[in-house]
Chains A and B, each alone.
Chain A
Amino acid sequence: MAEIAIKGVAKRFGGFTALHQVDLKVADQEFMVLLGASGCGKTTLLRIVAGLETPSQGEVWIGGRRVDHLPPRDRGIAMVFQNYAVFPHLTVFENIAFGLRMKKLPQADVERRVNRTAELMHIEQLLKRYSGQLSGGQRQRVAVARALAMEPDVILMDEPLSNLDALLRLEMRAELKGVLAASKTTTIYVTHDQVEAMSLADRIAVMHQGRIVQAASPVEVYRNPAARFVGSFIGNPPMNFLPASKAANGSWNVAGLTLPGPKSDRQKIEFAIRPEDVDAGDNGLQATVRVIEPLGPHTLVTCDVEGGLFRAVLDSGSTVAVGDRLRLAPKPDRIRWFDPETTNAL
């Protein structure tokens, strides 16, 4: 049982604030992904949980125990690093056994655990080799096996797949998900790759400028972004945003359409829709086609709507041409609204 609680954790490096008062709870056995662009503080947060960085303020609890004053070795964690950090002077066997030997386990237990995790990660034929004789993917497997062999309460992963090539990444992603689910370990996984985040996570914590903007299930984060940033960061292509001005209380003018929306004191708010949530038809947003990208399963059309860029995903059978004027009708239940001042969802 190891739930993680991060309470009001802040981190300042000199005058720079990397983390502002972050709160996050990770349930036992949950797979939590910290997602954000580089420099958003996600790695710093992970390193604070690991004990490799001390928070400027706040508390970290693992399994009901406050750990922020403890060194990494006393936290019941194991970590997988971005550059693998496989010890070059030890064989693969000794790498995986390293933590077990530190725990002073009997030799038989060490061998049993090393062999089991090596089998799990499909590296049992590499146990006698050194790191220099391994490929990137194999090194990654050793790093994961070394963490798993510790049988930790919590596994922390810092962009573990980012140094692998695309195909290998896909393969390792699926494998990691299976292995970690089977190990019943609580996991915090840092990545900047939204596809990786969506595919692995039980919950995603989207981070931006040292804050967690939203922590929710992948579908929730995708469908109901809590803030404009989440909508613009997640999804490829990302959400479309258009200015909306007040028509009446609870109704808004958007690019020639009048749509029912939230009640607000503001005169202007923002309308948002995912590219796949519009249909070309007779009614809708007035759009002029600028670029057409046939992608196979569907066609991506980039249009001008009220002088701004607007992307729509249309059926690959649609016969639009550059310069065409389209009417794009947003699906009413997929429309989202954002406050332009706070950037939060309305």
Chain B
Amino acid sequence: MSAVAEAPVAATADARKAGDWLLVATTILLCVWVLLPIYLLIVNALSSPQEVTGFPKRFFPSFDLGSLAFFINFAGVAKALWNSVLVATLTMILSIGFGAPAGYALSRFDFPGKGTFRFLVLMTRAFPLPLLALPLAVMFIRTGLDDTAVGLALVHTTLALPFAVLITFSLFSGIPVELEEAAWTLGCTRWQAFRKVILPLALPGIAASAVFAFTISWNEVFAAAVLTIENRTLTAFLLQSLGESPLYLKFAGGAALVVPALIFIFAVRKYLFAMWGIANR
């Protein structure tokens, strides 16, 4: 009797143990998947040009700034960096400027075509950018928007906007409408209630979604490469000029692209988590 009773218990214990191992193994695999390339990038970026091409590799970087110094002083890098910051900032302002009101409207008002609107917002992501890039380039040349930061920021805004809309939509939906109504009964206009009650509660999430928009623009390469010639962003510049450049320069450029994006996301990670946990209670 007891043997029969124990067998399933042992089996479940085994299954749980196997599950634990699977979890640990998957976690390690995912961490390696994400961290290893970043590690290699940073080690090589912080090594002298000779070490990058040499063998065997060092486990710890030598903190030789030769590669980075060469990269920074490389003709055009500073300008491309400035362009990237400019375009990403414009993208951030535009996507929050348009996305947050749209998200607020979606969460607070019922209007005809609301479902269709949400669907269309998502559908903009379904268009492959290469398909749009050529007609866009033609249109931009006609309107004089080609090779300008504003023009590229507009394209990046169309990429970032769906996220901005959907993130702020869920953000505003998480703030009970009663808080707003309470503010109205306490003497606020609609705008005052938004500014004094909703905005302070939504601000961390809005900031996070702004940084997210910034990062999307910062990382985008295709539209940037097609639509700019003189005023290249860093991604487009690297794509163009690093094809034939030495390995250590590629690593330095890669690090210059990845590290800021990592820092941004790291800085707002608290708000990214808070974004899902925000509540009245």
Residues of A within 8 A of B (CB): 50-52, 71-73, 77-79, 81-83, 85, 87-89, 98-99, 102-103, 131-132, 146, 150, 156
Contact = CB atoms under 8 A, between A and B. Distances in A.
Contact of B186 (A82, A132, A146, A156): A146
Contacts of B192: 102
B280 A102 contact: no
14 contacts: A52-B181, A71-B189, A72-B181, A79-B185, A81-B182, A83-B176, A83-B280, A85-B280, A88-B179, A88-B201, A89-B201, A98-B196, A102-B186, A132-B281
Contacts, number: 64
B247 interface: no
B178 A87 contact: no
A296 B35 CA distance: 71
Given A89-B200, A89-B201, A81 B178 contact: yes
Contacts of B178: 81-83, 85
Interface string B247-281: 00000000000000000000000000000000011
B121 interface: no
Given A52-B185, A83-B280, A87-B197, 14 more contacts: A71-B184, A73-B184, A73-B189, A77-B185, A78-B185, A81-B178, A82-B178, A85-B181, A85-B182, A87-B183, A98-B186, A102-B188, A131-B280, A146-B182
B188 A73 contact: yes
B187 interface: yes
Nearest to B181: A52
Contacts of A52: 181, 184-185
Given A88-B201, A89-B200, A102-B192, A150 B186 contact: yes
A131 B181 CA distance: 17
Chain B contact-residue range equals 10 to 19
Nearest to A136: B281
Contacts of B182: 79, 81, 85, 87, 146
B170 to A, nearest CB: 17
B171 to A, nearest CB: 14
A132 B201 CA distance: 13
Nearest to A74: B187
Contacts of B281: 132
A87 B183 CA distance: 9
A77 B186 CA distance: 8
B192 to A, nearest CB: 7
B195 to A, nearest CB: 12
B18 to A, nearest CB: 40
Interface of B: 176, 178-179, 181-189, 192, 196-197, 200-201, 280-281
A229 to B, nearest CB: 30
Contacts of A89: 197, 200-201
A39 to B, nearest CB: 19
A-B pairs, top 4 by smallest CB distance, nearest first, are A102-B187, A99-B186, A85-B182, A85-B178
Contacts of A85: 176, 178-179, 181-182, 280
Contacts of A73: 184-189
Contacts of B181: 50, 52, 72, 79, 81, 85
A2 B192 CA distance: 27
B150 to A, nearest CB: 36
A72 B280 contact: no
A34 to B, nearest CB: 17
A103 B188 CA distance: 9
A63 to B, nearest CB: 16
B187 to A, nearest CB: 3
Contacts of B179: 85, 87-88
Nearest to B178: A85
B34 to A, nearest CB: 34
A132 B183 CA distance: 18
A204 to B, nearest CB: 24
Contacts of B201: 88-89
A83 B200 CA distance: 20
Contact of B187 (A82, A103, A131, A132): A103
Contacts of B184: 51-52, 71-73
Query: For B185, B188, B192, B200, which residue has the most chain A Cβ atoms within 10 angstroms?
Result: B185
A78 B280 CA distance: 20
A156 B178 CA distance: 14
Contacts of B183: 87, 98
A71 B176 CA distance: 20
B105 to A, nearest CB: 18
Contacts of A71: 184, 189
Contacts of B186: 73, 78, 98-99, 102, 146, 150
A198 B101 CA distance: 46
Nearest to B200: A89
Contacts of B200: 89
B126 to A, nearest CB: 32
B234 to A, nearest CB: 38
A156 B181 CA distance: 13
A35 to B, nearest CB: 22
Nearest to A73: B187
B263 to A, nearest CB: 27
Contacts of A72: 181, 184-185
